[in-house]
Amino acid sequence: MTPIDFVVPFIGILVFIFWRRIQRRRAERIASNIENQTETLENESIVPIYETNWCDMPAEIKLECIGRMEIRERLSLRCAAKSERSLVDSQKVQISRGTFYRVKLKQGMYSSSTVVSLHFNKQDTFTKHFVSDYEAFELMKHILKIGIFEDLEISFSNSFTNYKESINDVGEISATNIEISGCNKETVFAILRKLKNGVESIMMTFGAYFYEDSLDEILAIPHVQNARYWHLKNLKHSWIPGFEACEVAQVAQMWIDKNSKIGSTFQASLIDVLCQTYRLFNEFVKYFDDRIVFASEKRIRIRTNNPDRHILLERGLDDVMEIYDDLQFYRMMVISAEMKESEYDDDCKTWILKMEPQYYNDDSENSFEQYDYNSSDGSSDFADDWL
């Protein structure tokens, strides 16, 4: 036997012992791990397993929750899945002021963007600028559908002409006070016809896309007939004698025909490009010749068919508003036949400011400045893909 014959088996035995030891330690480690895991599982099984989630909620609970969400979360949820969309759309949201208007972009003279601005309360506002008319219009349609507005202002130029059909897709529009300006005739009528009952005031501005010749149609709309307050801004003296007087007279005639309630108020601003200061009053007197109770350069009072009610037309005149001014303000009201001259309201500033909030303020540039519409709270980042 050589020493090699002796050493090789010896090394083999040592390697075998070492390998057994390693195996034993591994087995011990695995056993310990299993023990730990079993313990963890046992502990975990004590904690109840909850599997309930949003999808398990009944629709009425989901609606309760949606009712407590703010607008941007609602928009996000309706984008999360089709199944949520109809639920979100069915839940109305109270909006203290909703404004849809266009602004010119500073960078380009001809480009503009549409702004959707919603005020819910003092803390919560949602403002979003759109370059795409389509996206702006789609959001506006959605908001009009779900919103219950205290004040609603729609003010955009002709840019939505292509979508006028779509305004008809919107269900009833729920607003207490509505202001429409800069819209074309079709859009104005589509909006007015969509209004739900309960409109208290309607404010409209004539402009490039909407003319005085639409008055007959406006007066045929029941909301206009029943509104406690409505105003028309920017009437213009036309070349046709009596035309603008007819507009004011038409409103008075509608009130007479409908036996409108005491307190019904109509206001108008007139741009007197022809410098014919007394023209409207003169034409009005001619129109209601047989009904005149009293007439002066400031007031005309006429009888209605109801002996209890008169109609009073006033021109806004004070230290600031002068008789020869190009811009004239008129107010007409259904009053009690018992009302005495001493009870007339000489403070025209209050009612003029209702039409032109910035009129007595020289610093004003445009009416939108009264609201801090551009004070976006970062909400524009939300619901970008809301469509």
Is residue 55 part of the contact set for other proteins (CB under 8 A)?
Answer: yes
Size of the chain, expressed as the number of residues it contains: 387
80 binds other proteins (CB under 8 A): yes
Q: Which stretch binds other proteins (CB under 8 A): 51-59, 128-136, 157-165, 319-327?
A: 51-59
The pair of structure tokens assigned to 194 is 């969509």
Residue 73 is a binding residue for other proteins (CB under 8 A): yes
- Judged by beta carbon, residue 57 or residue 220, the one nearer other proteins is 57
The correct pick among 1, 22, 46, 82 for binding other proteins (CB under 8 A) is: 82
* Residue that has been written with the tokens 């939108």 in this structure: 368
Count of residues in contact with other proteins, rule CB under 8 A: 32
> Does residue 44 interact with other proteins by CB under 8 A?
no
Shorter beta-carbon distance to other proteins: residue 53 or 197 = 53
| CA-to-CA separations, 74 to 70, 77, 143, 236, 311, in angstroms, rounded | 6, 5, 11, 44, 48
SS3 letters across 40-77: HHHHHHHCCCCCCCHHHCCHHHHHHHHHCCCHHHHHHH
Separation of alpha carbons 360 and 141, rounded Å: 35
- Stretches 46-54, 176-184, 209-217, 345-353: which one binds other proteins (CB under 8 A)? 46-54
CA 206 vs CA 45, 126, 128, 211: distances in Å? 72, 29, 27, 6
Interstrand relation of 147-155 and 229-236 (parallel, antiparallel or unpaired):
unpaired
Nearest-approach distance from CB 120 to other proteins, in angstroms: 14
Binding track, positions 144-183, relative to other proteins; x by CB under 8 A: ----------------------------------------
User: Using the rule CB under 8 A, is 61 a contact of other proteins?
Assistant: yes
Q: Given the rule CB under 8 A, which of 55-63, 99-107, 149-157, 187-195 is the region that contacts other proteins?
A: 55-63
**Strand 201-205 vs strand 174-181: parallel, antiparallel, or unpaired?**
parallel
Among 5, 42, 44, 56, binds other proteins (CB under 8 A): 56
Query: At closest approach, how far in Å is the CB of 44 from other proteins?
Result: 15
User: What helix, strand, coil percent values describe the chain, rounded to 5?
Assistant: 45, 25, 35
Query: Residues 3, 9, 48, 108: which binds other proteins (CB under 8 A)?
Result: 48
Which of residues 3, 9, 58, 108 is near other proteins by CB under 8 A? 58
CA 337 remoteness from chain centre: 39
What is the maximal distance between C-alpha atoms in the chain?
Answer: 151
Residues that bind other proteins (CB under 8 A): 48, 50-58, 60-61, 64-70, 72-73, 76-77, 79-84, 382-383, 385
